[in-house]
């Protein structure tokens, strides 16, 4: 059974990244619009066989739409073809882990991509998480998703944790994050950890911890964004 699970996971994951690749493979380098940008990035590529794209903004929009179609297709395939919650949750976690690749390529000025991560993937994750019995495994997936949130599209998973995790698992996550805060030197990473702790504290109604982390968050805001 484990081998079958691993094979299916590998197969679907390969299909997903092949799908992403196919959506952007028709884009070729646009040397003329590169300027001081990274022309090696797929973000600055266009479809030579399609309509002419007159500006970098057109290129960005086209690539955002290509990524959006690929991501939506994969989410639809998960919902319609896979019944095992463990497989679905692992694949959804991997979708969240594509955000660095996707948003480094596409500016997503219209919010098409952000909506997929924040709403569509989040709703599907909650749906499968609610019926997943292994809460410790589930907590580890939540941590894996939320530990880094450079583009601000992963936090909805943490903000809805009480819908699928018990207080025991949430307090376990809080303890891990508190240890990380104590070891972390980067202020932005500290802010993310504190934000997660604050969100978890609110959900389990730990008012003391909630207000304590709220004060620390405010201190970080004052430090990070002071002029």
Cβ atoms 191, 217 nearer than 8 A: yes
Q: Is residue 30 part of a domain?
A: yes
In a domain, 104, yes or no: yes
Q: From CA 150, how far away is CA 142, in angstroms rounded?
A: 16
Decide if 13 is inside a domain. yes
> What is the distance between the alpha carbons of residues 29 and 141, in angstroms, rounded to a whole number?
37
* 226 vs 187, residue with greater confidence: 187
- Report yes or no on 194 lying in a domain: no
**Mean pLDDT, range 99-110, rounded to an integer:** 86
In this structure, is residue 153 part of a structural domain? no
Higher pLDDT, 92 or 227: 92
pLDDT in tens, 43-78: 323 333 333 334 445 456 777 888 888 899 889 988
Number of domains observed in the structure of the chain: 1
Domain-embedded: residue 144: no
Query: Does residue 126 fall inside a structural domain?
Result: yes
Q: Which domain holds residue 55?
A: 2-134
Most confident of 70-84, 101-115, 117-131: 117-131
- The answer to whether residue 14 sits within a structural domain is yes
As a whole number of angstroms, the distance between CA 20 and CA 77 comes to 14
- Mean pLDDT (the chain) is 80
């Amino acid at each position: 059974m484990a081998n079958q699970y691993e094979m299916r996971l590998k197969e679907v994951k390969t299909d997903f990244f092949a799908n992403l690749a196919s959506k952007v493979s028709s884009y070729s380098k646009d040397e003329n619009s590169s300027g001081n940008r990274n022309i090696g990035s797929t973000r600055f590529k266009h479809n030579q066989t399609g309509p002419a794209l007159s500006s970098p903004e057109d290129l960005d929009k086209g690539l955002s739409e290509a990524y959006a179609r690929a991501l939506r297709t994969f989410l639809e395939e998960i919902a319609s073809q896979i019944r095992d919650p463990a497989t679905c949750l692992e694949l959804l976690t991997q979708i969240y882990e594509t955000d660095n690749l996707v948003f480094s390529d596409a500016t997503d000025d219209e919010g098409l991509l952000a909506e997929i991560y924040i709403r569509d993937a989040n709703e599907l994750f909650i749906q499968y998480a609610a019926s997943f019995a292994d809460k410790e495994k589930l907590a580890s997936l939540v941590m894996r998703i939320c530990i880094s949130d450079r583009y601000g599209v992963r936090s909805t998973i943490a903000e809805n944790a009480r819908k699928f995790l018990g207080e025991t698992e949430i307090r376990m996550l809080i303890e891990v994050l508190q240890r990380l805060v104590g070891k972390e030197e980067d202020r932005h990473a500290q802010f993310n950890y504190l934000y997660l702790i604050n969100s978890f504290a609110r959900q389990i109604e730990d008012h003391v911890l909630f207000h304590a982390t709220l004060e620390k968050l405010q201190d970080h805001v004052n430090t990070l964004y002071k002029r």
